[in-house]
């Protein structure tokens, strides 16, 4: 149990006293490579082209297809007043070389201990300082035309060294950030500006900048500004200008070819769109025609159904009229039958009445001649009877 407690206390002590610089160094790794970058070339710094520009030292960048290529040192405008540039650097960690991105910040942070020159000697920064909204240039570290830029000063109290190591780690610079650099690393940072990123991309497109072509001596080692004049290691610009002109011509031709290809693609796409529109129009016309035909068929069906309903109504009306007429005739027949039935008792009564007076008259008539005959018989004299033999 005591041994376990000792082990836990030992681990806690190691964690407490272990410097935290390793975690800070690994921040901002953009890409990694399996081989070390070439040495930093020695070159002359071009003059500052304008007040307010700051120097960005040249550095080796990496392309997975072409290997290392040199991004020339160049004068650039900061993204905001009061900010300084911390250069990128390579560091060997975990079996490979990692690229730590540069950044803008209120103070210069840790840049791997690399001696980039021109105020960036590996530790700290001696190129100048901000005084309010104005930058003061140290003309002892930077090449400044003091007849044009007057906000300068001279400070020679900085360490100069001649090492050309381009990475931090075994075989290069063995250095870790101090407390001032660690503080600067924790401050608010701004990434490289769009012009700085475009500048690196332009160097990547120039094959003469790759180490496998120039063998550590790039043709354009520095420039007075982005898209400005380029200089070689001796500060000469003529040959570089011709190369840049050729590269610009090639880039222009490539752009023109790409534009032509793009125009053809756009024309083909436009033609395809037009054909698709025509096909769609035909389909719409066919669908419209089908809808019209369906509407006509529906109208015919509706008309036929309406006609059938009208015929059915007429038939129903005829049937109703016939039924009405039949009912009227039946009523008439019923009325005649009722009338006949009413007349039969009257007719039966009339003959009875007629027969009764006749019967009554017949005895009277019979009686009348009897009465009339009786006097006649009484008045007649009595005639003798005749014998059949003529005797009395």
- The two tokens of residue 343 are 């007349």
Sign, CA dihedral 191-195-196-200, equals: positive
Contact 54, 86 (CB under 8 A): no
Sign, CA dihedral 105-109-114-119, equals: positive
Q: What is the pLDDT of residue 182?
A: 94
Q: What is the pLDDT of residue 70?
A: 97
The whole-angstrom separation of Cα 86 and Cα 185 is 10
- The two tokens of residue 3 are 């041994």
Phi-psi region of 137 (alpha: psi -120 to 50; beta: other; left: phi over 0): beta
Annotate 47-114 with three-state secondary structure: CCCCCCCEEECCEEEEECCCEEEEECEEEECCCCCCCEEECCEEEEECCEEEEECCEEECCCCCCCCC
- Name residues whose C-beta falls within 8 Å of residue 60's C-beta, 6 or more positions apart in sequence: 37, 38, 40, 68, 69, 70, 71, 90, 166, 211
The whole-angstrom separation of Cα 292 and Cα 298 is 9
Looking up tokens 């369906």, which residue turns up?
A: 294
Catalogue the E-assigned strands of 252-313.
none
Neighbour-count burial of 269, counting CB atoms closer than 10 A to its CB (0-12 exposed, 13-18 middle, 19+ buried) = exposed
Identify the three-state secondary structure at position 246: helix
Neighbour-count burial of 226, counting CB atoms closer than 10 A to its CB (0-12 exposed, 13-18 middle, 19+ buried) = middle
Q: What is the pLDDT of residue 162?
A: 82
The whole-angstrom separation of Cα 49 and Cα 60 is 24
Sign, CA dihedral 144-220-118-20, equals: positive
The whole-angstrom separation of Cα 364 and Cα 377 is 19
The whole-angstrom separation of Cα 203 and Cα 223 is 11
Q: pLDDT (tens digit, 0 to 9) for every residue of the chain, 392 residues total?
A: 444 444 444 344 433 333 333 333 334 566 888 999 999 999 999 999 999 999 999 999 999 999 999 999 999 999 999 999 999 999 999 899 999 999 999 999 999 999 999 999 999 999 999 999 999 999 999 999 999 999 999 998 877 778 899 999 999 999 999 999 999 999 999 999 999 999 999 999 999 999 999 999 998 999 999 999 999 887 776 455 555 556 667 777 888 888 999 999 999 999 999 999 999 999 999 999 999 999 999 999 999 999 999 999 999 999 999 999 999 999 999 898 888 888 876 666 665 555 555 555 555 455 555 454 554 444 555 555 555 554 44
Identify the three-state secondary structure at position 152: strand
The whole-angstrom separation of Cα 165 and Cα 171 is 9
pTM for this entry: 0.56
Q: Residues, the chain, total?
A: 392
Contact 77, 84 (CB under 8 A): no
Q: What is the pLDDT of residue 232?
A: 86
Looking up tokens 């290529």, which residue turns up?
A: 69
From the centroid of its chain, how far is CA 271?
A: 25
Phi-psi region of 26 (alpha: psi -120 to 50; beta: other; left: phi over 0): alpha
The whole-angstrom separation of Cα 348 and Cα 388 is 58
Q: How many CB atoms lie within 10 A of CB 105?
A: 18
| 188 CB-side CA count, 13 A | 4
């Amino acid at each position: 149990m005591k041994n376990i407690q000792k082990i836990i206390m030992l681990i806690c002590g190691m964690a407490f006293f272990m410097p935290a610089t390793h975690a800070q160094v690994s921040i901002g790794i953009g890409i990694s490579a399996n081989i070390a970058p070439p040495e930093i070339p020695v070159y002359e710094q071009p003059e500052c082209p304008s007040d307010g520009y700051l120097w960005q030292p040249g550095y080796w960048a990496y392309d997975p297809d072409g290997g290392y290529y040199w991004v020339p040192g160049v004068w650039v405008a900061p993204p905001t007043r009061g900010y300084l540039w911390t250069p990128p650097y390579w560091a060997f960690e975990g079996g490979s070389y990692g690229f730590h991105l540069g950044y803008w910040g209120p103070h210069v942070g840790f840049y791997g201990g690399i001696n980039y020159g021109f105020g960036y000697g590996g530790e700290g920064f001696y190129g100048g300082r901000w005084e309010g909204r104005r930058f003061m240039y140290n003309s002892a570290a930077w090449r400044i035309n003091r007849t044009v830029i007057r906000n300068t000063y001279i400070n020679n109290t900085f360490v100069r060294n001649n090492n050309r190591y381009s990475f931090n780690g075994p075989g290069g610079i063995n250095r870790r950030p101090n407390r001032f650099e660690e503080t600067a690393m924790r401050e608010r940072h701004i990434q490289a500006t769009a012009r700085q990123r475009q500048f690196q991309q332009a160097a990547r497109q120039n094959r003469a900048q790759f180490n496998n072509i120039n063998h550590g001596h790039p043709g354009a080692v520095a420039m007075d500004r982005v898209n400005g004049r380029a200089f070689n290691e001796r500060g000469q610009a003529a040959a570089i200008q011709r190369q840049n002109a050729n590269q610009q011509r090639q880039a222009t031709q490539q752009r023109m070819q790409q534009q032509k290809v793009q125009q053809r693609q756009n024309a083909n796409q436009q033609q395809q769109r037009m054909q698709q529109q025509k096909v769609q129009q035909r389909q719409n016309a066919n669908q419209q025609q089908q809808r019209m035909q369906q509407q006509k068929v529906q109208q015919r069906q509706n008309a036929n159904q309406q006609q059938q309903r009208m015929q059915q109504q007429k038939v129903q009306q005829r049937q109703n009229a016939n039924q009405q007429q039949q009912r009227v005739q039946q009523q008439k027949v019923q009325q005649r039958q009722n009338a006949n039935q009413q007349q039969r008792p009257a007719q039966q009564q009339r003959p009875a009445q007629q027969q009764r007076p006749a019967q009554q008259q017949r005895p009277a008539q019979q009686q009348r001649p009897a009465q009339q005959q009786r006097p006649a018989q009484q008045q007649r004299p009595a005639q003798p009877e005749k014998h059949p033999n003529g005797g009395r």
